[in-house]
């Protein structure tokens, strides 16, 4: 609608913007193609966050709120670390940020922290950028005295992230690649099955990654009755429990992933419903990304 | 023609009809998100103000939860002193441009207006709104005076109506006030819930800016219970007292099959996407929302939130927008004005109808709601006639989108992280209603977190009561 119409219809309309606080990026490093490690100044979150929690952030003032799991923090420096894979418009825009840039908003830590105890032998499985989300929990599992095995899966060698970090917290660390270009040739589930078949006693499995991967891990561990936890990634808006956009079905009950989760018992999750619900805005996401890509293209031409 | 406020007789006052609120034409407004009501002109406002007979015992004041000096501000409008009227209101109400728009005056001040019996009540809300808008429009907003600093620090949790009014009173009493807000914008339901076409967001920002100028500090993006706890605020950040005004923001679902299908929203989510995230501006604003263009949309519920949601869907291009309510129109809790507005915008009211199940296609998109027709039986505990199902009346209402608007509960975060605050069975915070004090020393609460979903002005009244009690407590009884 035109500004003219706006003014005509609403004589008292005042167009004054209030200033919003901005959050500074203190380090930014590309880990793999399209995957960036970003450290943001957010002292309260850095001080408070626990493994398994996430933040909601907006890149620009007209941006959407997106959830991202906290990969690490430095309470002294007052920074939180995020590992971001450029998928749609907002994550790509975030990935274009460099040191000294700011983002409009970041809020957290949100969600219920991971339930950590000494289970015995714990296997932490990360698929793709899910590895970054699994990392803090792997650290916490190690700290709690578990024998930690990590399986870090990627499509190919160039996409393997956090290899050294994972090795440092693991008693056994495995890399798998779908194309066999590095480490074990195959899926994370095949490696897990191999471990189970080798009669290794596994007490706990944490799996974080794409929905089909988490579902497949749940299917592998179910017959052996191995306690398995997944971190769900539904669409979120506020991230504080006020809208239910992130609702998931767990054990035939409706749960809000942002408050009750994001971690749930993998054997009780309705993955089909989660996967369907995540398709809600596909056409809009696609058009938004296309418009952004085109805009960036023009920007580069004009430089 | 305007008569003189000084010479007008009571008979002449009573002969003036209630002045109607000018509004955007329905055919135009269903295609935009601009405010529906356009506000009184100075002439209309003066004419309406002259209707007030200036009773000796103005009962309207008692009908207002924050006791605005209604007779006095209306007299000032009648005399043409619009700025004076605005300042008179602000002695008791910090958000008059907001309350004038969203209060249910017909149940409060206007309900008890003495003219109601034989004539029509004074349009107090319209006049309050006029005075506040006039002051803002003329750029001459006068700040109230602030008392000398007391050295006491108060944290207000939540920047909705309760928190804002509490912060306002406390800052004027000389306390150091910090408001913590979980979202990136201030205002609570005024920002995310009530649509732009009922309450322009710039008006909310301007009224909150007034508080900033008085010295209230605002901290956004901070979820108390997650980012920091009540105990940490008191022990580590040295706040002397805390007011909890976090509202009732936990949406209720119906618990019927198919509620997780694509296209089924809570009213909170739908309205948050549209109002706070401005998804009606997609793709200029990044947040998407269901594409309502040419679709059938049903909103389940009969309150103001349901009216807001259904009128929003219509503006997003819905072909058919229905209100589905299990009782009859007489029992709907929504304001009559909003129901009228909705009807003139082409909203269809499907009364005495109860959904049993949502039905979807193979891709899990909603295609319809299986509903049951009801009839009214005997009155229930609430005094309203209970809806009873009509046998074999099941049918399928074809819809592409559903919005559930059957009320809200309390967010559990504060309860979970501050166990020494007593809560009711419904998870509302239990307080002493005279002081709004909770079971925890120096912690007060008010608004929807205490009452469950209620009105903006009741929340503001609770914020005021708490501010007075906090002041009394912090000043050790020596408060004046």
Q: Identify the structural domains of chain B with CATH numbers, from first to last.
A: 10-138 (1.10.1060.10), 153-249+410-475 (3.50.50.60), 252-404 (3.50.50.60)
Choice between B325 and B7, residue whose per-residue pLDDT is larger = B325
One domain, residues A211 and A145 = yes
- According to the model, what pLDDT value does residue A32 have? 86
Residue A87's pLDDT is what? Answer: 87
Q: How many CB atoms lie within 10 A of CB B100?
A: 25
Which pLDDT band holds residue B215 (cuts at 50, 70, 90)?
A: very high
Judging by beta carbons within 10 Å of its beta carbon (0-12, 13-18, 19+), is residue A179 exposed, middle or buried? exposed
Structure tokens that stand for A114 in this block: 């991971």
B285–A240 C-beta distance less than 8 A:
no
A194-218 average pLDDT score: 94
Q: What's the structural domain count of chain A? A: 2
Per-residue pLDDT tens over the stretch B118-162: 889 999 999 999 999 999 988 777 788 889 999 999 999 999 999
Res A12 pLDDT > 50: no
At residue A297, the pLDDT reads: 53
Domain boundary among A110, A144, A168: A110
Q: Please state, for a pLDDT cut of 70, what percent of chain B lies above it.
A: 99
Residue B70, CA distances (Å) to B59, B161, B230, B241 in order:
9, 20, 38, 32
- H-run or E-run covering B270: helix B267-271
Q: How would you write chain A as a 3-class SS string?
A: CCHHHHHHHCCCCCCCCCCCCCEEEEEEEEEECCEEEEEEECHHHHHHCCCCCEEEEECCCCCCCEEEECCEEECCCCEEEEEEECCCHHHHHHHCCCCCCEECEEEEEECCCCCCCCCCEEEEEEECCHHHHHHHHHHHHHHCCCEEEEEEEECCHHHCCCHHHHHHHCCEEEEEECCCCCCEECCHHHHHHHHHHCCCCCCEEEEECCHHHHHHHHHHHHHHCCEEEEECCCCCCCCCCCCCCCEEEECCEEEEHHHHCCEEEHHHECHHHHHHHCCCCHHHHHHHHHHHHHHHHHHHHHC
Is pLDDT at A240 greater than 80 in this prediction? yes
**Among A274, A57, A34, A16, CA closest to A132:** A34
Q: Which residue has the higher pLDDT, B143 or A93?
A: A93
A38-77 residues touching B, CB cutoff 8 A: 44-45, 48, 58, 60, 62-65
The answer to whether A4 faces chain B, any CB pair under 8 Å, is no
Same domain, A101 and A128: no
* pLDDT tens, position by position, B175-202: 999 999 999 999 999 999 999 999 999 9
Residue B3 has a pLDDT of 76
Is residue A90 domain-resident? yes
Name the band, by pLDDT with cuts 50, 70 and 90, for residue B454: confident
Q: What is the mean pLDDT of chain A?
A: 88
- Residues A140 and A270 both lie in one domain: yes
Which among A285, A57, A237 has a CA at the least distance from the CA of B192? A237
d(CA A195, CA A199): 7
| CATH number, position A131 | 3.40.50.80
Read off the tokens for B270. Answer: 């739908």
For residue A13, is it within any domain? Answer: no
Quick check: B227 and A48 in contact, CB under 8 A? yes
Q: Quick check: B1 pLDDT over 80? A: no
Does residue A14 belong to the interface with chain B, where contact is any CB pair within 8 Å? Answer: yes
How many of the other CB atoms lie within 10 Å of CB of A161?
A: 21
Query: B272 Cβ partners below 8 Å, 6+ apart?
Result: A237, A238, A242, A243, B192, B193
* Chain A CB within 8 Å of residue B361 CB: no
Asked if B256 has any chain A CB less than 8 Å from its own CB, the reply is no
Last residue of a domain, one of A110, A133, A161: A110
A93 shares its domain with A153: no
**The tokens of B54 are what?**
């200036």
Query: Averaging pLDDT over each range in A89-103, B55-69, B306-320, which range is the top one?
Result: B306-320
Query: Is the CB of B262 less than 8 angstroms away from the CB of A280?
Result: yes
CA distances from B140 to A15, A18, B132, B164 (A): 16, 18, 11, 21
What's the pLDDT band for A245 if we cut at 50, 70, 90? very high
B295 CB neighbours in chain A (<8 A) are none
Predicted pLDDT of residue B334: 93
Interface contact A287, partner B, CB < 8 A: yes
pLDDT in the model for residue B480 = 44
Cα separation, B222 vs B230, in Å, equals 12
A52 and A128 part of one domain = no
Measure the CA dihedral B2/B5/B6/B10, to 10°: 100
Indicate whether A148 belongs to any domain.
Answer: yes
Q: Does any CB of chain B come closer than 8 Å to the CB of residue A249?
A: yes
Binding-site entries of A for FAD: 83-85
Q: What is the mean pLDDT of residues B33-51?
A: 95
CB contact under 8 A, A241 and B413: yes
Does B363 touch chain A if contact means CB atoms closer than 8 Å?
yes
User: How far apart are alpha carbons B185 and B191 in whole angstroms?
Assistant: 7
CA distance A91 to A59: 8
Instruction: Give the A:B interface size as CB pairs under 8 Å.
Output: 161
Same domain membership, residue A273 and residue A154: yes
Are residue A78 and residue A195 in the same domain, yes or no? no
pLDDT, one tens digit per residue, over A60-78 is 999 999 999 999 999 999 9
Q: Binding site residues of A for [2Fe-2S] cluster, as ranges?
A: 243, 246, 258
Q: Does residue A83 belong to any structural domain of this protein?
A: yes
| In a domain? residue A298 | no
Domain boundary among A110, A139, A174: A110
What is the average pLDDT across A29-44? 92
Measuring CA to CA, how many Å separate B296 from each of B31, B272, B350, B391, B398?
17, 20, 13, 26, 7
Distance from CA of A89 to the nearest CA of B (A): 8
Residues of B with CB below 8 A from A11's CB?
A: 38-39, 137
Query: pLDDT band at residue A302, thresholds of 50, 70 and 90?
Result: very low
Burial of A1 (0-12, 13-18, 19+ CB in 10 A): exposed
Residues A86 and A168 in one domain: no
| Residue numbers in A near B204 (CB within 8 A) | none
Question: Would you say residue A303 has pLDDT above 50?
Answer: no
Distances (CA, A) of B255 to A52, A271, B356, B364: 29, 19, 9, 17
B283 contacts on A by Cβ (under 8 Å): 284, 287-288, 291
* Residue A200: pLDDT band with limits 50, 70, 90: confident
Contact B226 A48 (CB under 8 A): yes
Confidence of residue B477 (pLDDT cuts 50, 70, 90): low
Could you tell me if residue A5 is inside a domain? no
Token duo for residue A193: 């099955």
Q: What is the pLDDT of chain B when averaged over all its residues? A: 93
CB contact at 8 A, A174 and A187: no
Q: Is the same domain home to A135 and A200?
A: yes
Give the gap in angstroms from C-alpha A18 to the nearest C-alpha of chain B. 7
CB proximity B147 to A under 8 Å: no
Mean pLDDT throughout B411-417? 86
In a domain, A88, yes or no: yes
- If asked whether residues A158 and A75 sit together in one domain, one would say no
- Give the mutation candidate from A242, A247, A287, A292 for the B interface (greatest B CB count, under 10 A): A242
Supply the ipTM of this predicted assembly.
Answer: 0.90
Q: Which residue of B has its CA nearest to A107?
A: B221
Residues A127 and A207 in one domain: yes
Whether the pLDDT of residue A6 is over 80: the answer is no
Whether residue A232 is found in the same domain as residue A175: yes
Which of B220, B273, B411 is facing A241, going by the closest CB pair? B411
| B311: Cα within 13 Å, side-chain hemisphere | 32
Chain B hits for A90, Cβ within 8 Å: 286
Substitution target from A238, A247, A285 for chain B, most B beta carbons within 10 A: A238
Q: Do B222 and A107 touch (CB under 8 A)?
A: yes
pLDDT in tens, A115-164: 999 999 999 999 988 898 899 999 999 999 999 999 999 999 988 888 88
Question: Which of A14-23, A213-222, B24-33, B399-408 has the weakest average pLDDT?
Answer: A14-23
Question: A220: domain range?
Answer: 121-278
- What single DSSP character describes residue B356? E
Q: C-alpha angle with apex A53: A22 to A55, nearest 5 degrees? A: 20
Q: Is B41 in CB contact (< 8 Å) with chain A? A: no
What are the chain B neighbours of A63 within 8 Å (beta carbons)? 285-286
| Cβ contacts of A254 on chain B, cutoff 8 Å | 253, 255, 259-260
Q: Which residues of A touch B38 (CB under 8 A)?
A: 9-11
Residue A2, pLDDT score: 47
Give B371's pLDDT tier (boundaries 50, 70, 90). very high
For residue A16, pLDDT over 70 is answered with no
High-pLDDT (> 90) share of chain A, %: 75
Is it the case that residue A5 has pLDDT exceeding 50? no
Tell me B262's DSSP state: B
> For the domain that residue A32 is a member of, what is the CATH number?
2.40.30.10
Question: Residue A302 falls within a domain, yes or no?
Answer: no
How much is the pLDDT for A269? 97
């Amino acid at each position: 609608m035109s500004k003219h119409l706006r003014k005509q219809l609403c004589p008292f309309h005042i167009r004054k913007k209030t200033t919003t606080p901005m959050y500074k990026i203190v380090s930014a490093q590309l880990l793999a193609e399209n995957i960036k490690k970003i450290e943001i100044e957010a002292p309260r979150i850095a001080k408070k966050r626990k493994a398994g929690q996430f933040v909601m952030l907006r890149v620009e003032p007209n941006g959407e709120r997106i959830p991202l799991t906290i990969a690490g923090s430095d309470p002294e420096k007052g920074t939180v670390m995020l590992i971001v894979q450029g998928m749609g418009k907002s994550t790509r825009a975030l990935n274009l940020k460099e040191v000294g840039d700011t983002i409009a908003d970041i809020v957290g830590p949100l969600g219920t922290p991971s339930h950590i105890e000494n289970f015995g032998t714990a296997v932490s499985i990360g698929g793709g950028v899910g590895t970054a989300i699994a990392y803090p929990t792997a650290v916490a599992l190690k700290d709690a005295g578990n024998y930690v095995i990590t399986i870090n899966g990627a499509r190919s060698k160039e996409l393997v992230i956090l290899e050294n970090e994972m090795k440092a917290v693991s008693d056994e660390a495995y890399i798998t690649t779908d194309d066999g270009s590095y480490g074990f040739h195959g899926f994370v589930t095949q490696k897990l099955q191999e471990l189970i078949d080798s009669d290794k006693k596994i007490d706990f499995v944490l799996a974080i990654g794409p929905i089909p991967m988490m579902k497949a891990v749940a299917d592998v561990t179910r017959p052996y009755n191995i306690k398995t936890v997944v971190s769900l990634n539904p669409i979120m808006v506020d991230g504080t429990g006020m809208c239910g956009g992130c609702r998931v079905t767990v054990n035939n009950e409706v749960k809000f992933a942002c408050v009750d989760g994001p971690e749930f018992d993998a054997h009780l999750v309705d993955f089909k419903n989660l996967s369907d619900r995540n398709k809600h805005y596909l056409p809009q996401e696609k058009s938004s990304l296309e418009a952004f890509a085109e805009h960036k293209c023009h920007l580069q031409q004009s430089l | 023609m305007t008569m003189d406020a000084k010479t007008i007789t009571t008979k002449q006052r009573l002969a003036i009809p209630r002045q109607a609120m000018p509004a955007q034409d329905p055919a135009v407004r269903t295609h935009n998100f601009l405010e529906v009501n356009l506000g009184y002109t100075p002439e209309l406002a003066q004419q309406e103000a002259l209707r007030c007979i200036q009773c000796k015992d103005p009962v309207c004041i008692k009908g207002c939860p924050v006791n605005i000096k209604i007779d006095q501000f209306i007299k000032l409008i009648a005399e043409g002193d619009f700025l004076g009227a605005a300042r008179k209101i602000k002695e008791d109400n910090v958000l008059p441009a907001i309350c004038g728009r969203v209060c249910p005056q017909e149940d409060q001040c206007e309900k008890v207006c003495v003219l109601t019996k034989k004539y029509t009540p004074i349009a107090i809300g319209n006049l309050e709104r006029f005075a506040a808008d006039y002051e803002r429009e003329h750029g001459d907003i006068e700040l109230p005076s602030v008392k000398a600093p007391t050295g006491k620090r108060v944290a207000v949790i939540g920047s909705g109506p309760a928190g804002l009014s509490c912060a306002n009173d406390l800052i004027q009493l000389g306390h150091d006030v910090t408001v913590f807000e979980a979202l990136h914008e201030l205002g609570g339901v005024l920002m995310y819930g009530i649509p732009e076409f009922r309450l322009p967001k710039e008006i909310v920002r301007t009224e909150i800016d007034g508080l900033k100028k008085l010295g209230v500090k605002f901290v956004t993006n901070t979820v108390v219970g997650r980012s920091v706890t009540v105990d940490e605020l008191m022990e580590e950040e040295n706040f002397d007292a805390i007011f909890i005004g976090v509202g009732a923001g936990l949406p209720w679902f119906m618990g019927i099959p198919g509620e997780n299908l694509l296209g089924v929203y809570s009213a909170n989510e739908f309205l948050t996407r549209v109002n706070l995230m401005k998804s009606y501006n997609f793709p200029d604003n990044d947040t998407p929302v269901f594409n309502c263009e040419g679709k059938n949309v049903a909103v389940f519920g009969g309150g103001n939130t349901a009216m807001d949601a259904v009128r929003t869907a219509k503006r997003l291009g819905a072909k058919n927008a229905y209100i589905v309510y299990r009782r009859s129109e007489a029992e709907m809790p929504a304001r009559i004005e909003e129901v009228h507005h909705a009807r003139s915008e082409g909203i269809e009211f499907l009364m005495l109808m109860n959904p049993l199940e949502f039905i979807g296609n193979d891709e899990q998109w909603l295609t319809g709601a299986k509903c049951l027709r009801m009839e009214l039986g005997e009155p229930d505990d609430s005094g309203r006639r209970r809806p009873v199902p009509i046998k074999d009346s099941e049918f399928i209402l074809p819809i592409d989108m559903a919005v559930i608007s059957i009320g809200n509960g309390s967010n559990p975060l504060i309860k979970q992280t501050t166990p020494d605050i007593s809560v009711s069975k419904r998870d509302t915070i239990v307080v002493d209603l005279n002081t709004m004090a909770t079971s925890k020393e120096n912690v007060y609460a008010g608004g929807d977190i205490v009452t469950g979903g209620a009105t903006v002005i009741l929340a503001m009244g609770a914020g005021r009561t708490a501010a007075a009690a906090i002041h009394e407590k912090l000043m050790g009884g020596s408060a004046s």
